Amino acid sequence: MVTYVKWQQPLVIDVIDRVEKLTATGAHIKQAMQNQLVEHKEYITRFGIDKPEIRNWTWPEK
């Protein structure tokens, strides 16, 4: 089962695209986020489940 809790990457990419000051300085971060999304999709395609760091993720303690 795929739970997909990696909402951070699309959010970060969207912010970089929308904030003009981040377009140039955030390009490497945007590329890293896009790479993580591709890797995650490939992992799911191969194994049918989320990667362990996604599957085992929990909210941090306050």
Residue 1 lies in a domain: no
pLDDT digits (tens, 9 = 90+) for 1-47: 444 445 567 788 888 889 989 888 888 988 888 898 899 889 999 99
Amino acid at 31: Q
The answer to the question of residue 60 being in a domain is no
pLDDT at site 56: 87
Q: Is residue 50 part of a domain?
A: yes
Q: Are 37 and 6 within 8 A, CB to CB?
A: yes
Residue 61 counted as domain residue: no
Give the list of residues 6+ apart from residue 59 with CB closer than 8 angstroms, or none: none
User: Longest C-alpha distance within the chain, in Å?
Assistant: 39
pLDDT at 10: 78
Q: What type of residue is 25?
A: T
Q: Which structure tokens are listed for 56? A: 């085992």
Domains: count for the chain: 1
Give the domain range for residue 31: 8-55
